[in-house]
């Protein structure tokens, strides 16, 4: 049986795509291998969000040139966002590359492999939601699953390559989503995370249209307390009263939101074409906290966007403090092909971007620690999942409804069970405690 080595870079959407690619290729008779040297097919599922991510792909690809010479019949393919962004240029630049497949064309991989020796390109975009319903998903985790509910993005923030790589926004029919989650429930999964680039604009363009909150209600009804439900990532402008109420009221929906802000300066938000300003963002945060006081809020931040002054940067630090984030992914701005910001004249130096990143990370660490310390002495509900453990067999690990990682000791703990843990210690990254029997 031919062997597949699949290497995944990037976001959860890519992780899920890799689970789909694996499912599709297992169906074709492939088996999985960890070792590149044993593989008959090496696939890189790639990320183009920042320059560094793209470079990682090229340097990894470079290491396969020798393997390709040594191993007759070895095929090498690139999928994902770099494939979509670069297309034909990749085949030119890397003569030992066999095929290039965009994120909307996963089902083209098997036919390309069967087609024999010709080098292939599949980056055309399907007009609708592009996952075939019967595509098997070979999931990595048996407790938590990702479920794609929409693809692409229509917002065109000026720094972002996603609308070019993943295309325009397409929502998946609600019946299909509900069916997939029904199947997951049957298989004993305990948590689903609904995925999309701007997940809360789901459903508007479907006929008939359906709101994101209506989808959440249907899912909540279906899982009926047996599963936790999360979603990522919402756009601040589409955080509504109904969504805030749903977070408070739907029992399955976890009190957690990852709400990207990108900058705290109105001037920069405007140049980013984010579609919200600082006040609107803060209003949404206040709304969420008013309805769901226990909610944990995390975010994405870009520092060093073209033209960002010290004052703009300070406004971002102030906003981080004002919100009191539980966590944040903070990135140095990176110019991306096709995007408007790439053309902006006032690009900042690596040194300024690097210094701002360091400063923002120090602040974030302090804020996370403060938020996590508030759990000391409290008892929290933890969904046990071995994947959260860092190779420590003495302790158990899992996550709270707020998505905080908890390590704890206790007897007879099973993966996938929900246990109560009294928190005794907190760091910026995780909590620690003792299991209690209620």
For the annotated binding site, the residues are 11, 47, 81, 153, 157, 160
Of 31-39, 100-108, 329-337, 343-351: span binding ligand 5AD (CB under 6 A): 329-337
Q: Which of 10, 77, 103, 260 binds ligand 5AD (CB under 6 A)?
A: 260
54 backbone dihedrals φ, ψ, rounded to 5°: -70, -40
* Residue 342 CB, nearest approach to ligand 5AD (Å): 8
To the nearest 10°, report the CA torsion of 334, 340, 341, 345: 130
Candidate residues 300, 318, 340, 370; the one interacting with ligand 5AD per rule CB under 6 A:
300
Q: Which is nearer to ligand SF4, 261 or 348 (CB)?
A: 261
Q: Cis omega before residue 272 (within 30°)?
A: no
Nearer to ligand 5AD, 73 or 345 (CB): 345
Half-sphere exposure of 127 (CA within 13 A, CB side): 1
According to CB under 6 A, which residues from 130 to 169 bind ligand 5AD? 159-160
197 binds ligand 5AD (CB under 6 A): no
Binding-site entries for [4Fe-4S] cluster: 11, 47, 81, 153, 157, 160
Question: Which H, E and C letters describe 260-304, residue by residue?
Answer: CCECCCHHHHHHCCCCCCHHHHHHHHHHHHHHCCCCEEEEEEEEC
Q: What is the rounded distance in angstroms from the CA atom of residue 43 to the CA atom of residue 33?
A: 12
CB of 360 to ligand SF4, least distance (A): 18
Residues 160-179, mask of contacts with ligand SF4 (x by CB under 6 A) = x-xx----------------
Crossing angle between the packed helical segments 241-249 and 212-223, to the nearest 10 degrees: 10
* Residue appearing with tokens 């957690």: 256
104 counts as binding ligand SF4 under rule CB under 6 A: no
Residue 155 found at the interface with ligand SF4 (CB under 6 A): yes
β-sheet with 3-8: strand ranges across: 31-32, 3-8, 41-46, 75-80, 99-101, 120-122
Q: Does 6 bind ligand SF4 (CB under 6 A)?
A: no
What is the dihedral sign for C-alpha 198, 213, 286, 299?
Answer: negative
Residue 156 found at the interface with ligand SF4 (CB under 6 A): yes
Q: At what angle do helices 350-373 and 310-323 cross, to 10 degrees?
A: 10
- HSE-up (13 A, CA, CB side) for residue 59: 7
Interface characters, 340-379, with ligand SF4 (x: CB under 6 A): ----------------------------------------
Is residue 261 close enough to count as binding ligand 5AD by CB under 6 A? no
What do you get for the CA distance between the two ends of the chain, in Å? 51
Under the binding rule (CB under 6 A), the answer on residue 333 touching ligand 5AD is yes
Task: Give the H or E element holding residue 231.
Answer: strand 228-232
Contact between 401 and ligand 5AD (CB under 6 A)? no
Three-state secondary structure string covering 346-370? CCCCHHHHHHHHHHHHHHHHHHHHH
Among residues 302, 282, 257, the alpha carbon closest in space to that of 157 is found at 302
- Single out the segment in contact with ligand 5AD by CB under 6 A; choices: 31-39, 185-193, 250-258, 326-334: 326-334
CB under 6 A: which stretch of 20-28, 76-84, 85-93, 151-159 binds ligand SF4? 151-159
Contact partner at residue 197 from ligand 5AD, ligand SF4, none, CB < 5 to 8 Å by partner kind: ligand SF4
Among 8, 13, 18, 50, which residue interacts with ligand 5AD (rule: CB under 6 A)?
50
Contact residue for ligand 5AD among 281, 331, 375, 408 (CB under 6 A): 331
DSSP state of 384: E
Q: Based on the shown chain and the rule CB under 6 A, indicate whether residue 157 belongs to the binding site for ligand SF4.
A: yes
When asked if residue 199 is in the footprint of ligand SF4 (CB under 6 A), the reply is: no
Site for ligand 5AD, rule CB under 6 A = 49-50, 159-160, 260, 262, 300, 302, 331, 333-334, 336
Site for ligand SF4, rule CB under 6 A = 153, 155-157, 160, 162-163, 197-198, 235
């Amino acid at each position: 049986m031919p062997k597949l080595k699949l290497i995944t870079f990037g976001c959860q959407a890519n992780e899920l795509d890799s689970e789909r690619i694996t499912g599709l290729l297992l169906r074709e008779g492939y088996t999985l291998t960890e070792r590149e040297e044993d593989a008959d097919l090496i696939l890189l599922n790639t990320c183009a969000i920042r320059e560094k991510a793209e470079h990682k792909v090229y340097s990894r690809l470079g290491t396969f040139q020798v393997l390709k010479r040594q191993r007759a019949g070895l095929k090498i393919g690139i999928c994902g966002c770099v494939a979509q962004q670069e297309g034909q240029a990749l085949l030119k630049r890397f003569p030992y590359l066999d095929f290039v497949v965009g994120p909307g064309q996963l089902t083209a991989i098997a036919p390309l492999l069967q087609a024999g020796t010709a080098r292939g390109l599949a980056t055309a975009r399907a007009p609708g939601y592009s996952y075939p319903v019967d595509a098997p998903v070979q999931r990595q985790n048996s407790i938590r699953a990702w479920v794609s509910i929409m693809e692409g993005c229509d917002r065109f923030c000026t720094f972002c390559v996603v609308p070019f790589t993943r295309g325009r926004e397409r929502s998946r029919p609600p019946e299909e989503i509900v069916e997939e989650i029904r199947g997951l429930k049957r298989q004993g999964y305990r948590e689903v995370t609904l995925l999309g680039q701007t997940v809360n604009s789901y459903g508007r363009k479907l006929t008939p249209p359906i709101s994101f909150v209506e989808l959440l209600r249907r899912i909540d009804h279906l899982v009926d307390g047996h599963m936790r439900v999360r979603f990522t990532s919402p756009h601040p402008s589409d955080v509504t009263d109904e969504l805030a109420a749903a977070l408070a009221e739907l029992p399955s929906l976890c009190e957690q939101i990852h709400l990207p802000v990108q900058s705290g300066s109105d001037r920069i938000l405007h140049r980013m074409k984010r579609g919200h300003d600082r006040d609107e963002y803060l209003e949404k945060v206040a709304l969420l906290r008013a309805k769901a006081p226990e909610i944990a809020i995390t975010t994405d931040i870009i520092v060093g966007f073209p033209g960002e002054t010290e004052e703009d940067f300070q406004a971002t630090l102030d906003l981080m403090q004002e919100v009191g984030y539980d966590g944040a992914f903070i990135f140095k701005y990176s110019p991306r092909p096709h995007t408007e910001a790439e053309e902006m004249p006032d690009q900042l130096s690596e040194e300024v971007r690097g210094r701002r990143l360091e400063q923002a990370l120090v602040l974030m660490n302090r804020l996370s620690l403060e938020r996590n310390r508030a759990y000391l002495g409290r008892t929290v509900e933890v969904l046990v999942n071995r994947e959260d453990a860092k190779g420590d067999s003495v302790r158990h690990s899992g996550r709270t409804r707020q998505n905080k990682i908890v390590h704890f000791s206790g007897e007879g703990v099973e993966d996938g069970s929900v246990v109560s843990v009294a928190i005794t210690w907190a760091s910026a990254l995780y909590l620690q405690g003792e299991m209690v029997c209620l």
